[in-house]
Amino acid sequence: MTPAQQSLEAETICRLAPVVPVLVIDDLAQAAPLAMALIAGGLPALEVTLRTPCALDAIRAMSQVPGGIVGAGTLLTPADVKAAKAAGAMFGVSPGATNRLIAACEDEGLPLLPGAATATEIMALLEKGYTVQKFFPAEQAGGAAYLRSIGSPIPQVKFCPTGGISLKIAPDYLSLKNILCVGGSWVAPKEAMANGDWAAITALAREASGLARSA
């Protein structure tokens, strides 16, 4: 799967909803009900970060929930890519991009949303064929104002910004023509997950899924 093909699939996934939940799962028992709650609220694309020991098992469990498209976040190495694909991930997300990581995604046929934070990084990924990229860390790297500015000289690239984005500022990003969606963790608060308050998470997801976007 070439980078261009990966970007086509990534764009389709990003267009499913204005928000992609970025999930850190510490308790495997939470995985399936969390997926059901988010999907019920209108957020079918789910990014499970590979930051906890049970992350791969969480991807396996969530992949069994009807209506969801589960991806793996925090891909850093080719081994991460292989493990994520084997666990059932349908797309991958990385904080940055290396040649080895890109090659692994090509070999494994895993659509990658590669991370970039500067014009040079964005251009380098575009040169490889990635027209859909992750902008990370969004708020710390310049926020919506930066992406508005980068859209003029590099209109070919569309983004899913993540990092520090909340419900309050998400509309600032979604109003831009080069933003497909945003990634956010606010739709799955740790307290609600710990308490099994899935109704609250569905309500947050429904609120997020109703956000307007321009792209």
- CATH number at 69 reads 3.20.20.70
Query: Which residue is catalytic, options 47, 82, 121, 177?
Result: 47
152 occurs within a structural domain: yes
Residues in Cβ contact with 147 at an 8 Å cutoff, skipping those fewer than 6 apart: 135, 138, 159, 161, 173, 176, 178, 179
Q: With respect to residue 28, please indicate whether it lies within any of the assigned structural domains.
A: yes
H or E element that contains 126: helix 119-128
Domain of residue 57 covers 3-209
Distance of alpha carbon 113 from alpha carbon 22, whole angstroms: 13
Alpha-carbon span 52 to 77, nearest angstrom = 16
Domains in the chain: how many in total? 1
The one catalytic residue in 9, 11, 85, 134 is 134
Count of other CB atoms within 10 angstroms of residue 43: 28
- Is 115 inside a domain boundary? yes
What letter represents residue 200's amino acid? A
Residue 30 domain flag: yes
Look at residue 215 in the predicted model and tell me its pLDDT.
79
Cα–Cα–Cα angle for 64, 109, 23, nearest 5°? 45
Q: Would you call 139 a catalytic residue per the annotation?
A: no
Q: Is residue 38 part of a domain?
A: yes
Strand (E) or helix (H) holding 48: strand 45-49
pLDDT at 19 (0 to 100)? 98
Residue 214 lies in a domain: no
Is 45 inside a domain boundary?
A: yes
* Per-residue confidence in pLDDT tens, the chain, 215 aa: 999 999 999 999 999 999 999 999 999 999 999 999 999 999 999 999 999 999 999 999 999 999 999 999 999 999 999 999 999 999 999 999 999 999 999 999 999 999 999 999 999 999 999 999 999 999 999 999 999 999 999 999 999 999 999 999 999 999 999 999 999 999 999 999 999 999 999 999 999 999 999 87
Q: Of the candidates 177, 149, 7, which has an alpha carbon nearest to the alpha carbon of residue 92?
A: 7
Kindly state whether residue 215 falls inside one of the protein's structural domains. Answer: no
Determine whether 9 is an active site residue: no
Q: What pLDDT does residue 116 have?
A: 98
